[in-house]
Amino acid sequence: MKLFHLFALVALCPCAVAVHAQQPSSAPRPITIADYFQIREVHDPQITPDGQWIAYSISTPNREEDKSESRIWMIAATGGDAIALTAEGVSSSHPRWSPDGKWLAFLSARDEGKTQVWLLNRLGGEAQKLTATPQDVNDFVWSPDSTRLALALRDPTDEELDAAKTNKDKSPDPSDAGKSKKPKTQKPWVIDRLQFKVDEVGYLDRRRTHLYTFTLAGKALTQITSGDYDDDEPAWSPDGKLIAFASNRSKPDPDATYNKDIWTVASDNSEKGGHPTQVTTNLGDDSSPAWSPDGKWIVYSTQLDPKLFQYATKHIAVSPASGGAAKVLTLALDRMATEPRFAPDGKSVYFIADDDGTQVLCQANLADGKISRPVSGRFILYAYSVAKSGDIAAQIATAERPDEIYVSHAGTLTRVSKANDALLVQLKLSEPEYVRFKSKDGTEVAGYLYKPVDYVPGKKYPTILHPHGGPVWSYYAEFSHLTQLFAANGYAVLLPNPRGSSGYGQDFCKAIWADWGNKDYQDDMAMVDYAIEKGIADPEKLGVGGWSYGGISTDFIIGQTTRFKAAISGAGAAEFTSLYGHDQYQRDYFTELGYPWENKALWEKLAPFYKVKNITTPALFMGGNVDWNVPVLGGEQMYQALKALGRETELVVYPSEYHGFSTPSHIADRLARYLAWYNHYVKGDSTPASLPQDTSKLYKTAN
């Protein structure tokens, strides 16, 4: 139930909020919906082995095709102008340098084909297509000698195999050009798995993801893992003889457990599927394997208590590559730790730690166990890569700036990319305060408080409480267009990290175990009280709303209090028994709540649906019609119940959207509805709370 990042394509109608086209001006202006069309999403930095260059991806909306598209760029580690390596119009992502530094491989689906691996010479020239698999390539990793790739491929469908055979055996017929083909009738889904559905995929069959090796010289593809298991996250041993990977191969049914172990398999295995060697035996989730430079150890992220699943702290551990006792490096840290990899000298391990509303890069010394923070600050570090020199390229966002590429050299952190500088110089932004306050029972809680951009001390403002998703997640010191948009429209915005949030230790996370909408509700309300006590929030003009678990929190909140003048619940859940077997959380429900037919009282106690009679807050419900993470069913149920009771409510369902929306026009529409709903009910504006169903004429494209 993760919260996701938004981007917007176009502007909002004047009735809901003022929209300004970008014009050169010396005076910064508040942000608009249209500005999100201009935000360039920078991610996945990859530094060359010699530390001289960094490749990365930038995602932007394509307004003509109403979708997002990604290009690969390169910049010198010392800064300067960025160089576009791939063209507009075709998405390319996942750039990876060959260990010898001569080549850059990446993923792209060109000419409306499958996603394949493409290759660029570092010295220049056109990209060459490497792989030609019937199915999409999910992931790839270079071998240490730069002659092979390890690929992660999901078993192809019969249709993909037939299409591949047809394309191989038959040349295109010019007479078919321009002819429309009648779509084939889709076959029924035949289900026999315990875990039979997942968001962005839909129904699951027995096709699994396995590992392959691909030789560049002869383009030979060899399958090296098999079975009724999913194998991913391949990592080559330094000598190229083994590939480590993560896989849940527990018996009798992997779908019934959270177990995932680290395994190794011979890279030159001639037997299809081979005989993997199990490295870890922890009953929780072991993932993200990486080898030590001498090939003797494997480091990975591990969860030690499978019964706590998402509430359990992720730790960093090392195990002998041949198997044996694990050494956990981060027990004393008690923070979510992920993405481990050895330093070039093999004497320490880097990893990302989630701590107190930030994400930073930590380093664990293997000799004495001490943990330092070589790249830290009040920001969020999403990804990083390390050169042989020890220089680090990192993707970092701050509250005032979207993600950019930074380089850490000799202890100094420098921003080298400038993807959003031209936009940011135009904008007047709200600078958040990271505040701490006491909850009802005395527990200390923290969160980010944004004031309106034109804030005047002593004046009270309409305020929006925005609970986060997860529930095990947090608000960080990162740029949020949505929050800045609210602040630009005269709202104070409260982003609390209540109990259940990550970054404050395992006990803080598990405090809401099987008790949703209680302690986290108290903590959310405590931040509202804090903002009122500070003279910032107007107690008569409060709104609440969130997405995913933030939507669920919203449902909990308006069922327990009438303090809020308006609520917006996105991808929320209402009556959980109806979601059991309908969403993707069958393991989570059983682990935390037991079966609904055995623990009916608990399931009903936690369901916001049974408090609908208490709700008088005007409530807008939203969701995507193919979201199998938190299906729109929950919003439909809340809407139907409130409508039957004669309450002010509305339901908006977006076609072909998963849990995280991807269509720019839909996201722009959603942002417009957010503002219209709050402006009407919280501010008391006379403009309508609901926009017309066809909003296309209300948008205006940013310059």
Q: In this predicted structure, which of 178-187, 402-411, 606-615 has the lowest mean pLDDT?
A: 178-187
pLDDT tens profile 557-604: 999 999 999 999 999 999 999 999 999 999 999 999 999 999 999 999
Q: 457: Cβ–Cβ under 8 A, 6 or more apart, which residues?
A: none
pLDDT tens profile 113-142: 899 999 999 887 889 999 999 999 999 999
Domain ranges of the chain: 134-159+194-378, 437-476+488-655
Portion of the chain with pLDDT greater than 90, in percent: 85
Mean pLDDT for all residues in the chain: 92
Give the residue-averaged pLDDT of 154-158: 93
User: Which H or E run includes 589?
Assistant: helix 586-593
Structure tokens, 686: 């006379």
Give the residue-averaged pLDDT of 362-374: 97
Q: What is the pLDDT of residue 162?
A: 87
What CATH number should be reported for the domain whose range is 437-476+488-655?
3.40.50.1820
Q: In this predicted structure, which of 85-89, 92-96, 305-309, 365-369 has the lowest mean pLDDT?
A: 85-89
Nearest residue to 118 via CA among 127, 215, 83: 127
- pLDDT value at 16 more than 70: no
pLDDT tens profile 523-534: 999 999 999 999
Q: Tell me the residue type at 475.
A: Y
| Fold of the domain spanning 134-159+194-378 | Neuraminidase (2.120.10)
How far is CA 507 from its chain centroid? Answer: 24
Residue 246 backbone phi and psi in degrees, to 5:
-110, 140
Give the residue-averaged pLDDT of 270-281: 81
Nearest residue to 668 via CA among 197, 138, 4, 32: 32
Structure tokens, 696: 């296309």
CB 480, CB 516: distance < 8 Å: no
- Model confidence at 4, in pLDDT bands (50, 70, 90)? very low
Give the residue-averaged pLDDT of 658-672: 93
pLDDT tens profile 232-274: 999 999 999 999 999 999 999 999 999 999 999 999 876 665 6
- pLDDT value at 695 more than 90: no
Q: What is the pLDDT of residue 270?
A: 63
Q: 12: Cβ–Cβ under 8 A, 6 or more apart, which residues?
A: 19, 32, 33, 668, 671, 672, 675, 698, 699
Q: What is the pLDDT of residue 559?
A: 97
- Higher per-residue confidence, 89 vs 41: 41
- pLDDT value at 24 more than 60: no
pLDDT tens profile 55-96: 999 999 887 788 899 999 999 999 999 999 998 888 999 999
Give the residue-averaged pLDDT of 533-538: 98
Q: What is the pLDDT of residue 90?
A: 87
CB 409, CB 79: distance < 8 Å: no
pLDDT tens profile 105-118: 999 998 778 999 99
Q: What is the pLDDT of residue 273?
A: 58
- pLDDT value at 702 more than 60: no
Q: What is the pLDDT of residue 23?
A: 46
Residue 231 backbone phi and psi in degrees, to 5:
-120, 130
- Higher per-residue confidence, 700 vs 306: 306
Helix ranges restricted to H, 616-663:
633-644
Q: Do domains 134-159+194-378 and 437-476+488-655 have the same CATH topology?
A: no
